[in-house]
Structure 1
Amino acid sequence: MKKVNGHEIIALFEKWSPKRFAEDWDPIGLHIGQLNRQVDNVLVTLDVNEAVVEEAIAKGANLIIAHHPPIFSPMKTIWTDTPQGRLIEKCIKHDISVYAAHTNLDVAPKGVNDLLANQLGLQDLEVMSPTVSDPLYKLAVFCPVSHADELRSVLAQAGAGAIGDYVGCSFTSTGTGRFMPSTGANPFIGEIGKMEEVTEERIEVVLPGPIRGKVLKAMLAAHPYEEPAYDFFVLDQRTEEFGLGRVGNLPKTMNLDQFAVHVKEAFNVAAVRVVGNPGKPVHKVAVLGGSGSKYTKAAKRKGADVFVTGDMDFHSAQDAESMGLAIVDPGHHVEKVMIKGVAEYMQHATKEKGYEVNFIQTEIDTNPFRFI
């Protein structure tokens, strides 16, 4: 097993939950400390408060991964006699770094919203409100026939040519390439100052935007020519859409009040708020972690019978009721499902890489509300 630093852990985390998934307003990333040092234990938490930092100290965690950013608004001063200043001071004194993954973790496949949907037992999941889709590119590269098969294989290994359930997809046409090596060239084929004609294959493959750099690097390394000819084209098609919330179906229909009890038990909360007719049949469910007041129309457009989300305000609840959309509000804090989800995902991912690091699930309940 290999000792690991914070940069390596976060690089692995961001392959799953990349920063580009986050909303523009969202202050994700490193909030306190540094990543350029060894990390032995990582504490995973929904929120960061002083009790969580004390837990990190007690358990020897030198990195905290949180869902809610501890510094949401820009700070002009850090006064250590204030709650926020005291928290920052304590983290720095004990060499504890804090990293936040918020809306990017909401959007990520197997992230917060998938975890919530799975806990409710929803099936046939789809994105409720798309926010990110990557451009699809086509690479066209010219290669001598003798090396075409090898180059196609290298491109496929780099991830190019994957279409749905098919891999290694490409198109090839054959033609004649002409060139004359000039002084200073080191040609694979041909002689300095002499026009050369070579039978070449034009290899075309599609690839998603995020791997363009990886594919280009692999192509250049494998291509026999000193100066290969190639083009990238942006296509009208887009790759898979990512976004906030999930919509899915219950295994069997139940009425709204029965479903509300199901939500309460699934998320282990003391109470839920409900909008809608108690006997309303519920089969298609939309779920969104956090504050979902702005997304009632998105849930309705997806054909949901009920929308499960937190922090539903009075007027948004009235609007949902008027459009025939039921609401079940179990509270914002149900996003705590990410504690177990992130810890288990990252423990598995780091083990596969041979990293020696332990992920600890917080035992601190950061929900500020209680019910009487």
Structure 2
Amino acid sequence: MERFAPRRLAVEGDRIGLQVGTLQKEIRKALVALDVTDAVVDEAIAAGVDLIIAHHAVIYRPLPAIDTSTPAGRIYEKLIKNDIAVYVAHTNLDTAEGGMNDWMADALGIESEGCLEEVHVDPLLKLVVYVPETHRRQVQEAVWRAGAGQIGEYDCCSFEVKGTGTFRPGEGTNPHIGTTGKLERVKEIRIETILPESLKGAVVQAMLKAHPYEEPAYDLFPLKLQGKASGLGRFGRLKEPATLEAFARHVKEAFDVPFVRVVGDPDRVVRRAAVLGGSGARYMRHALRAGADVFVTGDIDYHTAHDALAAGLAIVDPGHNAEKIMKAKTAERLAKDLAAAGYLTEVIPSAVPTEPFRLM
């Protein structure tokens, strides 16, 4: 889960990670849920689940006590008695590439051009390593497989310079080339490539494993180039322009919600849209700066709706529960990754509805 939605992508202070139970046990079956409600816990118990992966925290505010006579206390009691752990991926799942906000944008036909607010920028590093000519390709391919050498839509990017390396093996060494105590001069290749800082450990380990020397010479330099940005929300052009009314109906259908609230002229044609899962009222200005005609987000309040109307921004509010799109998508992604790694853990999406509102 953390390879898919790394913890570093979460908004500072967000309640993510393990919240109930332990991860130091065998996980045979996991349930993906939007909310951890009493009904969801009953579903997990009936299904024989060992772990719930939730989007919304089951413990959000500090607990003065665990009183099992309260609704929240009963949930914690059932989880612990049935040895069900709860792990939360919230804003890190929102911002992750191929995560919540990308799923929502894809569902609405938004050709994403970027995020509404940056949360994390992965700094870029340059790796420089000196390799004997005989092992140039072996080392290059190893660091590329580990994620180095990616520039935009191009991969396997590097630069090479031929030169001569000198070294003298000391006592107790076992050199790949040369003799202990004797100065050696070897034809070598200086290989330069680029990598995100988040992959530094994996790339360096791959390079060391592929390199023939006991003590490879290499350097890592920080770069001032902008790294890859991850953030909340997505914006871009709609694949098909539509009237606000038609688009709102599409939102309702795409997110399978009982109703949507709409701000703006229903006959207005919208061509650019922004979307942000959850409560997005404070990102209205971000949507305007992105050139959106319509902003899709939940929990819009009365005054924000008036501000949007005055600014010429249409709004479609499908509610917070629209984020339930993450249940099937996360379960599918985890099941695929686990199977590829050779694990037999089963991952299922919760079938319990957690929408609290009804339209009368």
TM-score by length of 2: 0.94
Tell me the percent identity: 50
Using the alignment, how far apart are the partners of 1:92 and 1:295 within structure 2?
38
CA RMSD, aligned part only? 1.8
Aligned ranges 1:210-249 → 2 under 5 Å: 210-249=198-237
* 1:123-179: CA deviation from partner (whole Å, max 9, x where unpaired): 355323222221111111112223323222322232222223333222111222233
**Counterpart in 1 of 2:325?**
337
Aligned ranges 1:115-134 → 2 under 5 Å: 115-124=103-112, 126-134=114-122
Given the alignment, which residue of 248, 258, 262 partners 1:260? 248
Instruction: Provide closer, same or farther for how the CA distance between residues 301 and 336 of structure 1 changes in structure 2, counting only shifts above 3 A.
Output: same
**Counterpart in 2 of 1:188?**
176
Q: Does 1:67 align with 2:55?
A: yes
SS in 2 for 1:181: coil
Moved more, 119-128 or 41-50: 119-128
Using the alignment, how far apart are the partners of 2:171 and 2:254 within structure 1?
73
Using the alignment, how far apart are the partners of 1:146 and 1:340 within structure 2?
48
1:220 shift after superposition: 1.5
Using the alignment, how far apart are the partners of 2:250 and 2:135 within structure 1?
60
**Counterpart in 2 of 1:161?**
149
Using the alignment, how far apart are the partners of 1:53 and 1:218 within structure 2?
42
Using the alignment, how far apart are the partners of 1:195 and 1:354 within structure 2?
48
In structure 2, list runs of 5 or more residues that go unmatched.
none
Given the alignment, which residue of 309, 312, 316 partners 2:297? 309
* 1:57-90: CA deviation from partner (whole Å, max 9, x where unpaired): 1111121111101101122321222221211111
**Counterpart in 1 of 2:358?**
370
1:198 shift after superposition: 2.5
Q: What one-letter code is carried by the residue in structure 2 that aligns with 1:65?
A: I
SS in 1 for 2:235: strand
Instruction: Provide closer, same or farther for how the CA distance between residues 157 and 256 of structure 1 changes in structure 2, counting only shifts above 3 A.
Output: closer
1:252 shift after superposition: 2.5
Using the alignment, how far apart are the partners of 2:201 and 2:120 within structure 1?
19
SS in 2 for 1:289: strand
Q: What one-letter code is carried by the residue in structure 2 that aligns with 1:139?
A: L
Aligned ranges 1:96-175 → 2 under 5 Å: 96-124=84-112, 126-175=114-163
Q: Does 1:326 align with 2:314?
A: yes
**Counterpart in 1 of 2:258?**
270
**Counterpart in 1 of 2:342?**
354
SS in 2 for 1:237: coil
Q: Does 1:42 align with 2:30?
A: yes
Instruction: Provide closer, same or farther for how the CA distance between residues 143 and 269 of structure 1 changes in structure 2, counting only shifts above 3 A.
Output: closer
TM-score by length of 1: 0.91
In structure 1, list runs of 5 or more residues that go unmatched.
1-12
Using the alignment, how far apart are the partners of 1:194 and 1:178 within structure 2?
10
Q: What one-letter code is carried by the residue in structure 1 that aligns with 2:203?
A: V
Instruction: Provide closer, same or farther for how the CA distance between residues 275 and 156 of structure 1 changes in structure 2, counting only shifts above 3 A.
Output: same
Using the alignment, how far apart are the partners of 2:220 and 2:257 within structure 1?
52
* 1:168-206: CA deviation from partner (whole Å, max 9, x where unpaired): 222111222233333333333334444333332211111
SS in 1 for 2:226: strand
* 1:259-279: CA deviation from partner (whole Å, max 9, x where unpaired): 222222332333222222232
Using the alignment, how far apart are the partners of 1:116 and 1:148 within structure 2?
43
Using the alignment, how far apart are the partners of 1:324 and 1:80 within structure 2?
49
SS in 2 for 1:147: helix
| Contact 2:101–2:275, Cα closer than 8 Å, also in 1 | yes
Q: What one-letter code is carried by the residue in structure 1 that aligns with 2:81?
A: K
**Counterpart in 2 of 1:250?**
238
Moved more, 183-192 or 321-330: 183-192
Instruction: Provide closer, same or farther for how the CA distance between residues 157 and 341 of structure 1 changes in structure 2, counting only shifts above 3 A.
Output: closer
1:358 shift after superposition: 2.1
Moved more, 188-197 or 284-293: 188-197
**Counterpart in 1 of 2:10?**
22
| Contact 2:105–2:112, Cα closer than 8 Å, also in 1 | no
Q: Does 1:83 align with 2:39?
A: no
Using the alignment, how far apart are the partners of 1:153 and 1:262 within structure 2?
46
Using the alignment, how far apart are the partners of 1:90 and 1:138 within structure 2?
50
